[in-house]
Amino acid sequence: MSVLVFKIVVTVILVAGLSPFLEGFMRKLKAVVHSRMGPPIYQPYLDLLKLLGKEDLRSTDNALFRAAPSVCFGAVLTAALFVPFGYAPALSTSGDMIVLIYLITFSSVAVFMGGLASANPYGSVGASRELMMLFTAEPVLAITFVVASVKAQSTVMTRLPLAAFSLSMAIAAVGFLLALQAQLGKLPFDIVEADQEIMEGPFIEYSGPALALFKWSSYMRQFLFASLFWRIFINWPRFQDHDMPGILATALNVTANFVEVLLLLTVVALVDATNPRLRIDQSVRFFGAVIFLVLCGLAFAFIGS
């Protein structure tokens, strides 16, 4: 029990503590691409502290509106306990890939319900766009995980990372990458918030601590999705395969995972900085093609390729 509690505490500190740094890194990189000085890397920490210290103003007393930020934050943080960050997930024996997909999807549902309950037309538009992304981008995530589970013959997260190359896993990895921008709410798929169009969309009526929880959740999602890509589809390096103490191997794995996350988020930030926003119909057509691609990968997985 003490080991389980320790792993949970370490995972919470790792994800909640480092995710704002990753956001700050992406902001700084985007500013460099745009030839601006940009904010300091630690700016997201300041933003969260400022929001947490502000008054929580509410446009409605709707229970869903009040609960949505906490539900979203809790769902993402709980999902982190099922994600390998260079070591076995903290709750690897308490759930599997299906639970992880459920929790990630539940965080998106919380955003949808909060925007819908905000009593603001912009919030309702943002909520409808979140629902659209839920029905187009989330299936890509689910299918890529199913491909990995078929190849591993298990849905347990500790058995999903594979070292051997296969055609189906390569296709799933490409599909995951193509959907990553939308999962993280970055251009060209920042359709839900779309500052210039619907002024933050589902978050328009949120302020103070409630808005901080939503923003913190989005920062953590970046860490989770980038880690999932490296640990499930690449799974390298594996220091535990070398003759070294277990604690040292784990520390090196965690460090390597963080560096790999930085590399992947660098690509995400560059795409975000150099692309315009797609229209909704363009986004739907794009994800229709991506879903077809990952379904092909699933078919190859079933036939053993």
% of the chain surpassing 90 pLDDT: 66
Residue length of the chain? 305
Span 60-76, average pLDDT: 94
| pLDDT at residue 162, as a whole number | 62
Q: Give me the helix-helix angle, 121-136 and 280-302, nearest 10°.
A: 20
Span 121-131, average pLDDT: 90
Q: How confident is the model at residue 157 (pLDDT cuts 50, 70, 90)?
A: confident
- Which tokens is 127 given? 């909520």
| pLDDT at residue 164, as a whole number | 63
CB contact set of 230 (below 8 Å; sequence gap of 6+): 236, 257, 260, 261, 264
Instruction: Find out whether 185 and 106 touch, Cβ atoms under 8 Å.
Output: no
Among residues 202, 184, 182, 183, the alpha carbon closest in space to that of 278 is found at 182
Q: Which runs of consecutive H residues, i.e. helices, occur in the chain?
A: 2-33, 43-52, 63-80, 97-116, 121-136, 138-152, 167-183, 195-198, 208-228, 246-274, 280-302
List pLDDT tens digits, range 214-243. 999 999 999 999 999 999 998 888 887 777
Decide which of 93 and 146 is more confident. 146
Decide which of 238 and 171 is more confident. 171
Tokens 């997909």 appear where? 101
Span 260-265, average pLDDT: 97
If one counts every other C-beta atom within 10 angstroms of the C-beta of residue 219, the result is 23
Domain boundaries, the chain: 2-302
Q: Cα(75)–Cα(213) distance, rounded to whole angstroms?
A: 11
| pLDDT at residue 81, as a whole number | 95
- Which tokens is 123 given? 């919030």
Q: Cα(296)–Cα(305) distance, rounded to whole angstroms?
A: 11
Mean pLDDT score of the chain, rounded to an integer?
Answer: 91
Radius of gyration of the chain (CA): 19
List pLDDT tens digits, range 10-58. 999 999 999 999 999 999 999 999 999 989 999 999 999 999 999 888 8
Instruction: Find out whether 160 and 232 touch, Cβ atoms under 8 Å.
Output: yes
Query: What letter represents residue 251's amino acid?
Result: A
- Which tokens is 119 given? 């009593």
Among residues 57, 184, 206, the alpha carbon closest in space to that of 192 is found at 184
Q: Cα(129)–Cα(275) distance, rounded to whole angstroms?
A: 19
Report field, pTM of the whole predicted structure over 0.85: yes
| pLDDT at residue 105, as a whole number | 94
